Amino acid sequence: MFIFVLFPSISFSPPKPSEPTTRCNHPSSGYNVTERLTGAATVDAYFAVAGCLTPTIIGNRGCGDGPAVTYSHVSLEAWTEGYAATWEQIQTDYPATAPVNVGNMGATAVGYDGKVSFYIGRGVKEAAWESEGLNLDFFRGYNISWHLAAKYFDPPSVVNNSLLLPCNVTRLWISRVMQFYAELTGDWDGVDVNDGVVTAKCWEGKFWYAPSCRGNSSGCFVLLTGGNGWDLENSMQKATAWNMPMAAWSKGWAPLLTDETFRT
C-alpha cells in the first residue's frame, strides 16, 4: 500500500519479492493490502502508480524512459484537477503505465467534496475587525495598496527556519510548475532560470516572498503549508494577483507546530 500520512492519498499494491511490508487482509473483499512506502504529496502517488522507482524525489522520480511495470495500483483522493499539468505530463510521457481516473468519489455515497482555503486563527481575525473593521475572511482585505494586514501576524523573522523544508525538496523546485506560475503572473523576478530550468527564488533556501513585500520581508505575513508544498503554487498566484504580502514556507507533514516550537 502506497500511503500518504495525514493528506491522505492512498494506493494499494502487492509487495516486491523479499521486500519488508506491513499487510492488511480484508476478508470481505479478498484484497491483500500491503504498505510499502510513504510520500509527502498527492503527485507522488501519480508517479508511484505509473511505476516510477523513486516517486517521492522531486527532480528524479525514477521513471527512466518509461516504466515497464508498476507495483502500486490504486490511489485515492488524487486531486487530479488541482495538479492537472503533472497528471497530463504523466499521461503523455508514460502512456503504458499511466494511472487512470476511474471516477469522482464525490459522486458516490461514500464520497465527499473537498475545498481549499487558508486557515486564520479567530484571534487574528477578531483583532483586525475590532481595530479597524478589516475583514481577513476576504481576500481583498490583504491588498497591501489598501490595508496593512501583515501587522496582525508575526513577521517571517520569528520563524524557526530549522523546522522548515529546504526549497529544493518542495514544489518550488518543479520547473514546469514554476514556469507556469511565472508565465501566468509575469513575476519573473520571483523565479530563477538556469539552463532552461525554472525554480522559485528562495531566501535562505527555505522561503519565497510575494512581490508586494519582497523588498521588505518584515511587511510579510507567513503562509505555512504541509507536505512538500501542498497547494503552494496556487497560493503564490493568489498572492501575486491580489497584491497580498505573503511569505510562503513548507514544513512537511510533521505534527502541527505550536507557537513555542515555531518561533525562534
What does the pLDDT look like over 178-194, one tens digit per residue?
999 999 999 999 999 99
Q: What is the mean pLDDT of residues 197-205?
A: 93
On the CB side of 224, how many CA atoms lie within 13 Å of its CA?
24
Confidence class of residue 148 from pLDDT cuts 50, 70 and 90? very high
Whether residue 36 is found in the same domain as residue 133: no
CA distance 94 to 64: 10
Q: Is residue 113 part of a domain?
A: no
For residues 124 and 20, which has the higher predicted lDDT (pLDDT)?
A: 124
Q: Which letter does DSSP use for residue 59 in this model?
A: T
CA pair distance 257, 81, nearest whole angstrom: 29
- Identify the domain boundary among 66, 84, 107: 107
> 200 by DSSP, 3-state: which?
strand
Is the residue at 117 inside a domain?
A: no
Structure confidence at residue 103 as a pLDDT band (50, 70, 90): confident
pLDDT tens profile 3-18: 222 223 444 344 444 4
Do 191 and 253 lie in one domain? The reply is: yes
Q: What is the pLDDT of residue 212?
A: 96
Average pLDDT for 199-212? 93
Considering its fold, how many domains does the chain have in total? 2
Q: Which of 82, 107, 132 is where one domain is finished?
A: 107
Q: Which secondary-structure segment (H or E) carries 49? A: helix 42-49
In a domain? residue 112: no
- CA 26 to chain CA centroid, nearest Å: 32
Judged against a pLDDT cut of 70, whether residue 234 lies above it is answered with yes
Res 195 pLDDT > 60: yes
On whether both 247 and 129 belong to a single domain, the answer is: yes
pLDDT at 172 (0 to 100): 93
Last residue of a domain, one of 56, 73, 107: 107
157 and 225 belong to one structural domain: yes
Statement to judge: residues 137 and 250 lie in one domain: yes
Residues 82 and 207 in one domain: no
**Residue 56 or 128, more confident:** 128
Extended strands (E) in the chain? 2-3, 10-12, 22-25, 32-35, 37-38, 74-76, 191-194, 197-200, 208-209, 221-225, 246-250
Residue 144 domain flag? yes
User: What is the domain extent for residue 97?
Assistant: 2-107
Among the listed ranges 5-14, 87-96, 153-162, 202-211, which one has the minimum average pLDDT value? 5-14
